[in-house]
Structures are given as structure tokens and as C-alpha cells.
Structure 1
Amino acid sequence: MARPLPWEIIRIVGHYLDPPQLLVCMQLASSWIPPLIPLLWSTICDQSYNWHKVLKQDNTTEIWTEADDQRLCDLFVKYGHHICELDVSSPHLIAAASSAGTCTNLRSLRFKFLDLRRPYNHLSEEEQRGITPGPLISPVFEEHLQLILPANQGQGQGDLVGQTRLLDGRNLVQHIWLLIRQNTRLRQLNLCKDISEVAMVSSSFSRASLAILHDLEELDYSPDHLHLSEILNTLPKLRSFGTSLTSGESDYLLPMPHQLERLDLRKATMCGRTIQNLLDNLPGLVSLTIGAFHLQGWMGTELVRLQKSRKSKPSQLKELYFSHISLRLSYEDYWAAQLLIPRLPCLTTLVVDRDSMKIAQAAGEHCRQLRVFRQAFDGISIHPVDGFQLEPNSVCKMLETCLDLEELDAIHHKMEVQSILVKPWVCTQMKVFRCQIIGVNRLTVEEQRVVDSYVASGRLCSRDSLEGEERLAVERLVESREHQQAILGRIGQWTSLKTLCFGHEYRNHRLYQLDKPPYYTVDGVEYLQYDGPIPNTLELSLESGLEQLAGLKDLEVFGFEGLDHRIGKAELDWMAVNWPRLKIMRGLHVDTMTHVEYDVRRAELREYFQKLRPDVVHATKKTSLGLGL
């Protein structure tokens, strides 16, 4: 009879298995149960795998019964002391973990979106007022729990089931807070805002409950009744705090310093004075996220005073995120560039609104350690649909001064050939480059016809012997090709590059919203007259220097939407061979614009490349919302 494997070896094997696989091993070999139980129960995340099959041990149905509740509670009573990380959204899991009383060794506790109000929002106002709160789960909630009734969503017929669900949601909030109070050694706590939408605990209760978490280092919580200064005073070891509340400016003014490292105020719009206060009183702050920058109630002499003091107090901040859009071409962009960016010489990551030109320029001037510059919002089109255009060359300075730059993801920003070739680029480790390169001085349709005729004639004479239109067209072509080869030669030196995009969806997507949009007819079918490709962009042909990009062996994404490119089958043959890791191509995908004419040439090229590289996906980039994610 074979001797059983030592527990040490079983645990090593167990570290490479996910929970369902661990459960199968335990079912097949009873000797593996003791060493694998701690691994199976160390982390429970009910959204990362079929957790009901692990915890219910039943593969037949997902319907939950009272017997399942009891079985789940028994499992938590038996194994809850093994759990170190609990990431849940299931009410059954939360109630079982709280009721068991054994889940007292948690280091990380995260509650996802619960949508507690949906089951009972059909109740009428009278029915809502008639609901009598049931008994409290624990006496600790006496006088600290307030039932929140949703606004009337329309008249409907309520029933006992709806009222029961309302009270179940109220009980669930109690289970959540009881579980928190049972785990005084928590280091990470994430409370979704939904827990306050059915029942809300008092400020004194939440403050007292948080105060016993002496080791808490990370907190994501949106309390309606606690200010930032109260949170920091209650939790002296806190290193990271995030909230979704949009409180007033005074809620974020700190009277005393704190060693907080990460602060996420993703929905708060702040004036510079408040940001200055945060930087002054959080000397260890590494990452700051705010909604937007504004100047309301903060003008005149206040700006002058702050402008004079900006250089005397440099901050150690490394990451700055503006999480949603601010006004275009506003004073906010100018004053943020004047007052805020110069105080951040250690900045390595900057995520801003797509239209923040002045901030981009200031970052290249003052943030020499910058590694990531990203626009938070891509938009649907880079075409100036409202007549608004960004000034070109706002991001050029970063290429010249930021030695460690790895990501320049700013597709709405334009770079002119004449400007970017003036000075050398110092960055060598670029991984993501998404910018428009314009001003290539491409040939007109007529000039291209003249050149094509000259080439087709087979005359191999020198340029000096050419005259008239041919001479002008050929000279312009040579100059344009030289510029493109120089640019692609520089990009080709970024051998770590993974994403290279020169365009995004470019046409005016709002044309179909106009009263009388321009139409044209082909074979009796009406189409919208969209804007044509962006002029004077890279042609990306082999003749224009595409071969300069042969060193990009790690390239995974290549995009040329909106370019007046000359990519043909020869170029696609070259890409298929020289970019072995290519996964996504943006520019030959199926067009989804409204009333757009079918592009036969584009379809032919897509089908041709699909035969060469069936592993490559043809798709446009999804519009990014908030932080560019």
C-alpha cells in the first residue's frame, strides 16, 4: 500500500489549484482534506468562480433554500477561522459569516455592489410608511440604526414578500457591521455605498466601530456623516482611503498632518486651495485622485498668493488622477498648470482630462520623473465636432525631458512633424504610444496622380531633369517620405513598445443628430456624408519607412484609424511576419457608424490579413470613461 504524501507537498500542490479544483482533490482523496482545508477557506471571493458549487457542494441548481442557509452557516462555524480574505456580494454569505461567530481572523473584508433597494422599490408611499421595523439582530444597534425608505417609484401593490425583503436588507446591514466589529485586526475594508441605502447607522456607531480597527490600513467607504478629518483622526494607521461622496470643500480641509499615502476622492471637485491644504497636511501622500479642478470662490489675490508660494513647498506626490471631465479650454486647466503641477516634481503618473493642454505642457516642464501620461476620457471621435480643437504639440516636451516615460496615451493630442523632429527624444522604454502625428505634408490627389504617372512610365532620370508639376510633386514626396522615415525611425527604437496607435474613430459622429444632415445617394441608397480621413498624416507604407518598425517584436496593438494611410497587401504581409505578438489591429475593423457606405477596399484588406493572421482581432478601442480605464 502506497504511503500518503506528506502534508508539506500537498500544500505546495494546493497553492496552484483554484477552489473548485481543491474541492475535487478533497473529494477524491480523504487524506488530502486536512492540509487543503486552510487553503480552500483562506480566501472566499464569490464573484471569481462558481462559489455556490464549492460552498453548497451541489452542482444541480443555483436556487437557494433555507436548508442551504443552515448548511452554509454550519460550514462557516466549522471553517470560518481559516478565512483571511472575504470578498463577497451574496447576502447568504454575509449573513452566514456574521452569524457563525468564527470569522474573526479576517485581514481583508470587501463588500461589492448589493443593490439592496431593488426588491422593494415597488411599494407605495403608504405601504412604506406602514412597515414596522422588526427586532434588531443585536442590541448594539439600539438607537443607532435608521431604516431608509426609498422614494416612491410609482403606485403599485405591495405584499408581505416585498416588506420581508425590505427588512431582510435592513438585517443584512446589521450583519455587515457585526462582521466588521468581530474582526479587530482588519487591515483592508471596502464598504460599498449601497449598505447605507436601506439602513444607516449613526455617526457615533460607525466611528466607534472603525475606532477598534487599530491595524486598518486601507479603507474605501462613503459615510454620509463623517468628514475626512474624522476618518483620519479615528484611524491613525490608515494609509489608503477612498470615498464616492461629493462633499463640500470644508469636508476635505485638514487641521493637522497625517501619514496617509493614498487618497481617492474620485467624485469631489476641488479648488486649488483645498488641494494645497491636502498636500501641506499629508506629507507622505503618494497618490491623489480627485474629480476635477475648479476656481469657484478662489480668484484674485488668492491666486497671486498661491502662485508666489508654490515653489517653496514641493510635494512628494507621485500619482495624480483627475477622474472625470472638466471644462474645455477653461481657466481651470491654466491655473492647475500654474499652481499645482510645479509643486509636483516627483510625479510619475498623471491622468487628466483629454483637453488639458496646459497641464500637459507643464508636466513636460516640471515633472521630469514622469512615467505615465494618460487622458482620462477618449471620446467617440477625435474630429472637432463642436469646432473645438486642441493646440498641437502640448505633449512634445515630455518626449524631450522625461527620461523614464513609458506611456503616452493621449490620442486627442496632436504632434506636428516639424516640432517633434527639432529635438531628440530622451525616453527609451516606451510601452504605450497613442498620439496623432500630423503635418506630414502629404501629396494632394492631383500630385499623387502626377507621381503615379511618372513612376508608371518607368523613367529613371534624376530629379534635376524633371520640370514643372512632376518636379514639384516628386520633391514634395521626397521631403514627406524623409520626415516619415525619421519619425518611424525614432519610434522603431522603442523596442519595448506594446501599443502603437496614431488615430481613433475620427468622423463627426453627431451628423445624424442634425435636423438636415448632408446625405449622398449610391445606387438608390442614402448615406451620411461623413468627414474624410485626417489629412497630412503618416501613410505607413513600406516606401515611407514602415520597415523602421521591424524591431517592435513585442507589439500587441496597432492602430491607424482616421489616417490617410497607404497600407496595402505588401504592408500587411510585412506586419504578419515582423510583429509576431500582434493581437489587435485598429483600422480595418467592420464599420459601425450610422448610414455609412460599405468600404470594399477596407473589407478586402481585413479579409486578406485574417487569412495571414487569424489570431489577430480587428476592433476599434472602446471609449474609456474615467481614468482612461
Structure 2
Amino acid sequence: MKADTIFDLPEVLDVLGTLLPQGTLYRCIQVSKIWHATFIPHLWRTFTERSVQQSKWSRDLFFAIQAQINDPQNLEWYKDVYRRHAKYIRHLTICTPTILDACLDGTFEQLRSGSYSENVSIRSSGTTTTKPASASTAVNDVGGSLMTNLESLDLNILNHTIAFYFQMQLPGGSFGQSSTSVFTSTGFGTSLSDANTNNITGENNNSSNSTNNATTNTTLATTVTAASLSPLDTEKAFVKACQRLVLNNPRLRTLSSVYSMKILQDFEGGVGSVLRSLKSLVCVPTDGLIPGVLPPNVTHLKLISSFSLHLNSHSFASRGPGTTALVHEGLKSLEVDCVESATHIKGLLTQTPSLQTLSINTFLSSSGFGGDFATADPISVVISWPASQITVLKCKQTRDAFSSSYGFEDFLSCFPLLVEYHDEVWFPAIGAQLAKYCPLLEVIRIYQAASEFHSFATDRNPWHRPKGLPVNDSVSTLLTGLTRLRILDIRYEAIKAENILETPWVCLDLETFRCQIAEVPFLTDEEEQQVQEIRQRETQATSSALEYIRTDEEDALIALSERCVHTREVIMAQLSKLTSLKFLSLSPDFKTGIDLFGSHFNPKRVYKSERDGRSYIRYDDVMPDTLYFRLKYGLHQLASLTKLEYLSFESMDHRMETADIEWFASHLPRLREMRGLVTEAYVGMEPDPKNDALVALIRKLRPDVVQNQSLSRYLSYYSKYEH
């Protein structure tokens, strides 16, 4: 049949399917038979049981299974859905063994029948040994798999979930639970959603025959109880099923599970004989260190903790004489969930001499940072850090780790080749170490975000900088010491203005600059008025051929005024040298970091306007000791920033006039977004006709420049508090 449009050509639709999200794909399969047949493989390409990652169609499928779970025949129909689409799955994340039960035919039958004895022998001592699995036995003797194209596999399953799964249907009971034990498997919902299961399954009316056959063959098995089986037996059966799945997917590149090492350790001939495609592995550490046997081509490893794992910082520090941790030359990237001491991290670095990227998700300090899992005592030995090849270091939850954990004082000394540093928090000690030990550093990113809904400040959700409080400048040492720095993103830290005047920056290739500049001298409104009056009196005296003699107070005020201008001109001159700059943010909007509306009757927050007598909310986070974007303060020097695309000066007292706006419009050709002028979403804020006129002018002169604000997505929630 001739296609009416290009959207009737399966070849074109197939290309589009690789670009669409699952929600869109689900709607596409309901358009026509051609679209249905074309997009179903793409819809099932990624299948996950994790609730935070699920799309609506997969949640509907789980809800439908849960609603029909009391009827084994209906349950088998839904399991057959898995079987019919297993060939399409490339990325699989599971929280229950259901899909393995469906797609690895017969893998759990021995367990259900109570005859789980094959490949298991019991020694006279009472211990059990399992016969190693090989690729040939898994594929030929044990059986194949309906899933053979997997690229990533995430087995997010705990042992109690496996045990409960095999408490199968009892008279009057439910699948997945015994009649006396109430347990709902992770990943299943509690009610039936409005799901069109015909669309989900991708089958036409002729699918009923295969469904009935599958139901006839397997209904009996699902009604057999295995209540007497021990958790050890069920876990072994699950591991064996996972081995079978892994061996039948030769293109598997990523394996993630607390059972990863159990799945890999029993392969006959070694892991390297069957898993050459595996590049990324997530597993549980061995005594806090990297397991001894890994697939040969694994380059990325993540060590995770589990409920049954309890790290002991002394276990890897005192392994006994003659014991040496195995070295893994091939690992390029290592991610560690938990580091308890300096000795622990040293042991990991010793095992990975070729490591390039290190990610540390949690530091547990000697003072107990990290909760109940922080059991390590400080190790009273001097740490000799091994030099490493690491170029990228990513940390999380490091607050107080370097300052309170013994041995971390010179932690960064082992990263002389470091190029990128990422962290969630920032404190001065890190800045000093980076400048001292990491001369090749190019990227510093601190993912420290202010909380939108909390009324208190934390290490990760800081308050705005209080007015008058001295600044602890830990950033200048980076700008004056790291010549290769390209990205500096530390939005809640501040640079002292006097430090910029004293020492010029050496990182002239900066492309991203996100940091505050503070302690710039300024005049209050009253002082500015006094300066104007002094200037007028001097002008009048000069025109009358008279000499005007200032008082000491007037001399001090004029000197301060000149210092305000000079300081800002020097800072503007320093910024003008950053000719590669594309992203410039000199002040974050701290309104997201404080609770304006927790108590909106607070007199410090509400005031009456002298203009109209109405009550308004006072936004008091605007900092006066910052730059002014005024031509008379050196703004014209920024004309050299011809590559600038983003400019933010929120929470700054910019003091712009019409001439300054006209300069912005004509001298920054690549500018695409500006933040700092628009205040439309600030609930209860007093209207400012002067600022509104500036916004209208820049929009008229440069309609291509988006005038944005940080709070447009959040303050609407508080519209009920508007006065």
C-alpha cells in the first residue's frame, strides 16, 4: 500500500522512535497499526520497575498485575506480556524476580517443586557447594533466555524480596505472599489504573492462543508452595537464574547488583571467558576494598553498601602480614558509596594505579558524620598518599570530613594531575589544597543549591550572606594560582574586592564564572546625597572665583566616594580580561535560600509604603557592597566580552540607568539571557516603575535576550500570601 505521508513509512518512524521519550512512545502506539508495530520495540527498549524511574505505561502494567494477582490464570497472562516483548528489552531494571520467572522458562521450577538439589551437594560437615556454571551448561543444559539483547542490567533486589516471592499461591492466599505472611513485592502497586493493556502488550486478537497455551503449561507450577524453603535456597536459585540471564546476553555492558560478585564468581574457566563485553560493574566491596576477581574489560566500577554490609576501617588497615590487596590495572573510573577513613581511601587508590575518575559519595568522619554507619575511629598514623593518575574527582557530603577526620589534611596532594573537581559543598580548606596541589585544574563545580522550601540554613542549603559580616575569601587563591582554570562555579562563595586590587588573576581563559564579589566600598543613599551637595557647593564656589574648604568629614566622604569608583573600575578591568567568558554570574538570588513566607506577619518582612500606604513584603537580600553596572563605574570596559551569552546579577544593587541599558543592548552581541532586572514573580513586592521601564527598554532594544528570574517556578505557590 502506498504511503500517504512520510509518517506512514516504517523506516522514518523507526528513526523517530530512537529520539522519543517513553511517554510519547506510549501515545504513538495508539495512533495506527503501522505506528503500533513500529514503536512497540522502542517502547520496550528500556524497562524499569523502579517507581522513581517508571513511565506511566509501565506503572499501569504493574497495577494491573497487582489487581489480578489473586487469579493465577490472569497473572500468567500478564507474565506472558513479558515473554512476548523480552526480545526488545535493552536496558532492564527489576525489583522483583517476576520478569526472570517469565523469561527464563523453567528456571525456578525445581525450587517450586521442592526438589532444589541439582548442582548442589551437601558435604558431611553440613556445608553446601554449588557446581560452577559455564556458558555451555547455561545455554544448552540449563536453558536459554527470551532476553538476549540486554546492554544494561540492574538487579535492584534484596534477599527478603526473593524469599517472599517464592511463597507462591496457597489456598486462599495470594501470589507473592503466603496466607499467613502479608508482603507486597517492591515494584507492584496497590490498585488497578486505567491501563489499556492491549496497547501495552503490542498483540492483536490472535495472541489469545499463545496466552492460553502458556497458561495451561504453567498454572500448575504457580500453585505449588515453597513455604518450607530456606532463604539460602531461594537466593541460590535467584543467583543461578541471573547467571543464566547474563550468559545469554553477550552484549551486556553494565551489571548492577549487590549479588554481582556471587553471579560472577562461580563461572567455570573464570569470568573473563564469558563476560568480555562488560564495561561497567556495580557490586559490594570485599572488606571495604575492590574484589579480587573482576571481568577483564571492566573500566568503571561502583562499590555500594548494603544492609548486610558493615564496613570496618580497621579490616583493610590490618589484613595481616603477607596479605596484599589485588591491583586492578584496567580500572579507569571508580565510584565509592562510603569512605570511612583516610586509610580506606588510600587502600583503594593503591589498588587502582591507572584510575582516572574517582567519585566518593559519602565521607564518614571520626566525629560520627554520616549517621549510624559511622563507626570508624580516627587512625593515629601519618598518611603517606600515593601519587595517582586521577584527572576527575567527584565528591558528595564531604562537609567536615577533611577538617575532622584524621589524615585528610593533605588528601588532595595525591592528585597532581587533577583536571576537574566536583563537590556538593565548599569550605576554605579545599580551596587552599586545590591551589597548592593541583596546578593543572581546569574545572571546579560546587553543586550547592539553596533550599526553596526550608526555613533553616544547612551546609548544603546556605543562608544569604548577612550584611556587614566579613567575607572569608577562599576563591582568590584559585584565581591567582591556577592558570588553566576554565570553569569556576562556586555560587555561594565570595571574593573580597581588595584581593582583586592587590593581585591580578592568572586564569584568563575562564569560560564560566559563577561567584560573588563582595566588600566593595559603597555609599548609602544619604551619603550619596551629601556628596552631591558637596560637589554642588564646590562648583558654585569655583564659578564665583572662591575657594571652598572642606571639613574633615567632607574630605573623608569624598575620599570614600572616589574609592568606590576606583575599586569598581579596577574590578571591571579585571573582568574585561576574561575575553573567553560565556557565562557570568556575579550573585545568586538568595530568595530561594530563606523562608520569606513561613511567618508572613513578621514585622521585619512586612512594611507600609510611603507612596501608597499599602503593605508589601521586604526582600532584604540585595547586597549593597557589590558591583554597579553603571558606565561611570567602568561598565564600558566589558565591551571586550564579545562571547558572553549569560549574565546574572540577582541580589545585586545594580543601580542601572537608561544609558546603561542602551550600552548593554549595543555592545554584547551574543548575549542571550539576563537575570537581575525582572522581579515579576516576587510575591508582594512593591511595584518599581523605574525598574519596569528598564525592563521594557531592554526588551524593546534586544528582544532576543531573555529576561529571566530564578523564582518564576516557585513563588506562585505563595500567591495566597500576597498583601
Q: 1:406 aligns with which of 486, 493, 502?
A: 486
Query: Residue 581 of structure 2 aligns to a residue in which SS?
Result: coil
Shift of 1:360: 0.8
- The answer as to whether partners of 2:422 and 2:447 remain within 8 angstroms in 1 is yes
Query: Residue 485 of structure 1 aligns to a residue in which SS?
Result: helix
Is residue 2:513 matched to residue 1:503?
no
Q: Which moved more, 1:375-384 or 1:41-50?
A: 41-50
Q: 1:431 aligns with which of 482, 506, 511?
A: 511
Shift of 1:274: 1.2
Change in 2 beyond 3 A, CA 1:407/1:240: same
Q: Which amino acid aligns with 2:526?
A: E
- The answer as to whether partners of 2:464 and 2:594 remain within 8 angstroms in 1 is no
Q: Which amino acid aligns with 2:654?
A: H
Deviations 1:219-247 (A, max 9, x none): 235x5x96554645244443212255375
Residue 456 of structure 2: aligned partner: none
Residue 104 of structure 1: aligned partner: 148
1:58-457 aligned within 5 A? 70=80, 73-76=83-86, 80=88, 85-86=90-91, 101-109=145-153, 129=181, 135=222, 179-191=245-257, 204=262, 207-208=265-266, 211=271, 213-221=275-283, 223=284, 229=289, 231-245=291-305, 247-250=310-313, 255-259=325-329, 260-266=331-337, 268-290=338-360, 291-292=362-363, 294-296=365-367, 299=378, 301-302=380-381, 305-306=382-383, 309-310=384-385, 313-324=386-397, 326-327=399-400, 331-332=403-404, 336=408, 338-380=409-451, 383=463, 392-453=472-533
Deviations 1:50-89 (A, max 9, x none): 9979xx9xxxxxx99987875664354xx55xx7x42567
Change in 2 beyond 3 A, CA 1:334/1:561: farther
1:511-550 aligned within 5 A? 518=604, 520-522=606-608, 531=620, 533-550=622-639
- Aligned mates of 1:406, 1:332 — CA distance in 2: 31
Deviations 1:34-63 (A, max 9, x none): xx999969965789999979xx9xxxxxx9
Structure 1, unaligned runs of 5 or more: 3-9, 57-62, 149-170, 194-200, 624-629
Shift of 1:386: 9.5
Q: Which amino acid aligns with 2:325?
A: P
- The answer as to whether partners of 2:425 and 2:446 remain within 8 angstroms in 1 is yes
Deviations 1:578-602 (A, max 9, x none): 2534235246344557x76566655
Q: Which amino acid aligns with 1:242?
A: K
- Aligned mates of 1:495, 1:622 — CA distance in 2: 31
Q: CA RMSD in A?
A: 5.7
1:2-13 aligned within 5 A? none
Change in 2 beyond 3 A, CA 1:386/1:548: closer
Residue 214 of structure 2: aligned partner: none
- The answer as to whether partners of 2:290 and 2:348 remain within 8 angstroms in 1 is no
- Aligned mates of 2:99, 2:316 — CA distance in 1: 35
- Aligned mates of 1:206, 1:143 — CA distance in 2: 23
- Aligned mates of 1:387, 1:453 — CA distance in 2: 27
- Aligned mates of 1:136, 1:240 — CA distance in 2: 43
Residue 161 of structure 1: aligned partner: none
- Aligned mates of 1:104, 1:404 — CA distance in 2: 47
Deviations 1:439-477 (A, max 9, x none): 321223233113445678995979x97752665544433
TM-score normalized by the length of structure 2? 0.61
How many percent identity over aligned positions?
20
Q: Which amino acid aligns with 2:254?
A: Q
Change in 2 beyond 3 A, CA 1:488/1:215: same
- Aligned mates of 1:540, 1:369 — CA distance in 2: 33
Q: 1:485 aligns with which of 562, 565, 569?
A: 569
TM-score normalized by the length of structure 1? 0.69
Shift of 1:287: 1.8
Deviations 1:117-169 (A, max 9, x none): 9xx9xx9x9966267998599x9xx8667889xxxxxxxxxxxxxxxxxxxxx
Deviations 1:383-439 (A, max 9, x none): 468999785331212222222211111122221122123233222321221111123
- The answer as to whether partners of 2:17 and 2:39 remain within 8 angstroms in 1 is no
Residue 157 of structure 1: aligned partner: none
- The answer as to whether partners of 1:108 and 1:187 remain within 8 angstroms in 2 is yes
- Aligned mates of 1:97, 1:51 — CA distance in 2: 23
Q: Which amino acid aligns with 2:311?
A: G
- Aligned mates of 2:281, 2:396 — CA distance in 1: 19
Deviations 1:481-530 (A, max 9, x none): 23222222232332332321111234682576689774553167666666
Deviations 1:314-354 (A, max 9, x none): 222222222125249x8338963x32012211111122353
Q: 2:647 aligns with which of 531, 544, 558?
A: 558
Query: Residue 276 of structure 1 aligns to a residue in which SS?
Result: helix
- Aligned mates of 2:349, 2:469 — CA distance in 1: 33
Q: Which has the larger Rg?
A: 2
Residue 153 of structure 1: aligned partner: none
Change in 2 beyond 3 A, CA 1:241/1:522: same
